[in-house]
C-alpha cells in the first residue's frame, strides 16, 4: 500500500469533509475536494478560514497553505492522482457503496480509501469495489480538525497492509488512530457514547434529574477525568495502591448492582419534547453556532493544556 502521501482527495465536503480538508491542509498536504452541492466550495472556504487560527495554534507545519486546495465536482476525477482518499458522504449505505465503487475504479490498487462513516460496516461499504482489500473505515470525531481520535476498521475484507497504511498515515499527520479489530455497528467510541446517552435519557425520563443537571454530572465530573484517561485507567486509579485488582475486588460488586438497574428508555413524542425543551433551557438562548464556537475555543485550550 502507498505510504508516501502528498495529495488527499476529500470526497464529500460537508461539515466533516470540510473539517478534514482544513486539517489536511494544516499538515502541508494538497487537497482535492469533491461534493455534489454547489455550496460546497464556499463551505470549505469558510471552514478553513475559521479553523486556521486554531490550527496555527496547534502547530501547523511550516509552509502549510490554507489555499492549497482545489474543487472538482466529479468524485472520480477528484480521486484520480490522490495518494489517500477520505470519503465523507452522507451516512447512507447505498450512496457510499456507489460512490466508493466509482472512486475505486479511478485509482490504482495501492491507494487506501478510508470512509468517515460513523457506524456502517467496512465489509458492506466495499461490496461493489474491484479492490475491497484497500477500503477501510477512518472514522473521525467531530470536529475532525480538532479531535485527535480516528477509528480505523478493516473488517472482513480489508487487507492488513491497508489497515497498517491508514494507521501510519493518520499517525503521521498528528491524529491518534486506534484499530477496531472486529466489525460492529457504531465501531467503538459511538457505542460508548450511545450507552451513556441511553442512561442519561432514562434518568431524565424517570425524573431523577433535569437535562442540564444530567449534562453537568458528566461535564463537571467524570468528563474532566475522561479528557485525560479512559474508564479502565480511571478505575485503576480509583483502586488506590492496589489498582485495578483492588477496584475489581472491592468496588465491582456495587457497580454490578447498578448495571442491573440501568434503564432502556423508549423515546416517544413526549420524551422527545422534554429533551428538546431541556436542551433549549440549558443552552440559554445561545445558537448552535455560538455553542460550537465556544466548544472549539475550549477544545483548543484543553488540547494545549494536555500537550503542556
pLDDT tens-digit readout, 72-109: 999 999 999 999 999 999 999 999 999 999 999 999 99
Averaged pLDDT, 262-267? 96
Whole-number pLDDT of residue 147: 96
15-29 pLDDT per residue, tens = 999 999 999 999 999
Q: What is the pLDDT of residues 188-209, one digit of tens each?
A: 999 999 999 999 999 999 999 9
Of the three residues 151, 180, 209, the one that is the final residue of a domain is 180
- Has residue 302 been placed in a domain? yes
Residues 151, 58 share a domain = yes
**pLDDT per residue as tens digits for the range 101-157:** 999 999 999 999 999 999 999 999 999 999 999 999 999 999 999 999 999 999 999
175 within a domain of the structure (yes/no): yes
Structural domain includes residue 125: yes
Choosing from 180, 200, 232, the residue where a domain stops is: 180
Q: Are residues 50 and 70 in the same domain?
A: yes
What pTM was computed for the model? 0.93
Read out DSSP for the chain? ------EEEEE--SHHHHHHHHHHHHTT-EEEEE-S-TTHHHHHHHHHHHHHHHHHHHTPPTT--TT-EEE-SSHHHHHTT-SEEEE---S-HHHHHHHHHHHHHTS-TTSEEEE--SS--HHHHTTT-S-GGGEEEEEE-SSTTT--EEEEE-TTTS-HHHHHHHHHHHHHTT-EEEEE-S--TTTTHHHHHHHHHHHHHHHHHTTSS-HHHHHHHHHTTHHHHHTTS-HHHHHHHHTGGGHHHHHHHHTHHHHHHHHTT-------HHHHHHHHHHHHHHHTT--HHHHHHHHHHHHHHHHHHHH-
15 and 148 fall within a common domain: yes
* Confidence (pLDDT) at 3: 84
Q: Is residue 2 part of a domain?
A: no
Task: Report yes or no on 271 lying in a domain.
Answer: yes
Assign residue 132 the CATH number of its domain.
3.40.50.720
Residues 250 and 126 in one domain: no
Domain that holds residue 231: 189-307
Q: Is the pLDDT of residue 275 over 90?
A: yes
Instruction: Output the pLDDT for position 307.
Output: 85
Amino acid at each position: 500500500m502507498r505510504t508516501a502521501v502528498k495529495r488527499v482527495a476529500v470526497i464529500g465536503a460537508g461539515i466533516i469533509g470540510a473539517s478534514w480538508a482544513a486539517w489536511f491542509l494544516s499538515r502541508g498536504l494538497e487537497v482535492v475536494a469533491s461534493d455534489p452541492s454547489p455550496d460546497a466550495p464556499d463551505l470549505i472556504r469558510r471552514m478553513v478560514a475559521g479553523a486556521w487560527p486554531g490550527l496555527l495554534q496547534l502547530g501547523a507545519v511550516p509552509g502549510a497553505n490554507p489555499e492549497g486546495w482545489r474543487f472538482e465536482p466529479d468524485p472520480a476525477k477528484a480521486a484520480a492522482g490522490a495518494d489517500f482518499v477520505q470519503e465523507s458522504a452522507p451516512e447512507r449505505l447505498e450512496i457510499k457503496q456507489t460512490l466508493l465503487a466509482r472512486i475505486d475504479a479511478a485509482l490504482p490498487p495501492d491507494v487506501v480509501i478510508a470512509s468517515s462513516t460513523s457506524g456502517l460496516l467496512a465489509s458492506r461499504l466495499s461490496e461493489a469495489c474491484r479492490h475491497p482489500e484497500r477500503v477501510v473505515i477512518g472514522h473521525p470525531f467531530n470536529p475532525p480538525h480538532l479531535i485527535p481520535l480516528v477509528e480505523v476498521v478493516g473488517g472482513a475484507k480489508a487487507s492488513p497492509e491497508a489497515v497498517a497504511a491508514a494507521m501510519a498515515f493518520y499517525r503521521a499527520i498528528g491524529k491518534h488512530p486506534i484499530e477496531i479489530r472486529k466489525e460492529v455497528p457504531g465501531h467503538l467510541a459511538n457505542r460508548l457514547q450511545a450507552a451513556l446517552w441511553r442512561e442519561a435519557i432514562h434518568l431524565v425520563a424517570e425524573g431523577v434529574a433535569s437535562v442540564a443537571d444530567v449534562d453537568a454530572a458528566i461535564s463537571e465530573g467524570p468528563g474532566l477525568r475522561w479528557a485525560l484517561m479512559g474508564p479502565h485507567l480511571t478505575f485503576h486509579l480509583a483502586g488506590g495502591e492496589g489498582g485495578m485488582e483492588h477496584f475489581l475486588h472491592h468496588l465491582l460488586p456495587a457497580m454490578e448492582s447498578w448495571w442491573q438497574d440501568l434503564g432502556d428508555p423508549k423515546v416517544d413524542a413526549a420524551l422527545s419534547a422534554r429533551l428538546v425543551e431541556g436542551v433549549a433551557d440549558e443552552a440559554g438562548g445561545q445558537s448552535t453556532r455560538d455553542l460550537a464556537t465556544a466548544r472549539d475555543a475550549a477544545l483548543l485550550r484543553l488540547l494545549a493544556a494536555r500537550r503542556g
